[in-house]
Amino acid sequence: MAFPIDPESRDDIAQFLIQDPFNLRKQILPVLTVDKESGFLTGLGTSFRADPFGTFVTAEHVLKDHFETPELRDNAVATVLFGMGLVFGTVGLDSKYFAPVREAMMWRSAAAEQSPLFGRPQPPRILADVMRFHVDDRAVPGPQGALPLPIRLSGPRPQVGDRVMAIGYPELTCVQNEAPDRAMRFTERMYGAVGTISNLLPEGRGSSYPWPLIEVQAHWRSGMSGGPFLTSRER
């Protein structure tokens, strides 16, 4: 498909701000955790809508530590943050816009493996750095059942030299102010970044990354992990 949004002539294609509160912001959402005690927000990455019924897709490594570390899972809730639409200035962030992650599914080997160094059981090996999860968005204010981005399962495949775009949230920051107000301020910005495919690795890279990989010459920051990867190649 064609890029869903194009950088303006003055934008740096390596990373440009996307201000689109009514379309992409309902299809591509930030992933974060909310501390159960303090309410502090920690940005983890990006997800995108896979169907109109609350199913999203992200990279497994975005939520891996949260689900595999009991103290993290016990002390915080993994969630996605729905958009509030068009706002100006600093506004209050209603808890209704947060939808907790439910029914997460990932692709792993069938059995745990032994650590080659210590002989201790390790979690089953990752077979694909992909996670599917569901959220209940019925309590989120406003119409949230947006159509998903189209996922093409057939047709031309990406080729070396193709221009590609990633969309995500490299800036998810939460700051706790000092006394007297002790207010918390959260900043969220959606960015796009355009790059060029430099290599295709259909067999992956060794036992640590056995899934198909695409290498891209680009400057994509870590918070964009899990977001959609789009080519400009038509069907």
- Percent of the chain whose pLDDT exceeds 70: 88
Amino acid letter for position 157: R
Tens of pLDDT along 215-233? Answer: 998 888 888 999 998 887 6
Q: Beta-carbon neighbour count of residue 30 at 10 Å?
A: 26
pLDDT at 190 over 90: yes
Query: In the prediction, which pLDDT does 121 show?
Result: 65
Report the sign of the C-alpha dihedral through residues 49, 51, 54, 60, in that order: negative
CATH fold group of domain 16-231: Thrombin, subunit H (2.40.10)
Find, among 24, 37, 51, the residue nearest to 176 by Cα. Answer: 37
Quickly state the pLDDT bin for 118 (edges 50, 70, 90): low
Where do the structural domains in the chain lie, given as residue ranges?
16-231
Q: Which of 193, 199, 51 is nearest to 135 (CA)?
A: 51
Least confident stretch, 82-91, 101-110, 142-151, 168-177: 142-151
Mean pLDDT for the stretch of residues 145-166: 81
Q: Is 75 or 94 the better-scoring residue by pLDDT?
A: 75
Within 13 Å and on the Cβ side, how many CA atoms surround 211?
12
Residue 25: φ, ψ to 5°: -70, -15
Backbone angles phi, psi at 75, to 5 degrees: -100, -10
DSSP lists the bridge partners of residue 50 as none
The CA distance from 178 to 34, in Å, is: 20
Task: Supply 110's token pair.
Answer: 């069938």
Q: Is a pLDDT exceeding 80 seen at residue 155?
A: no
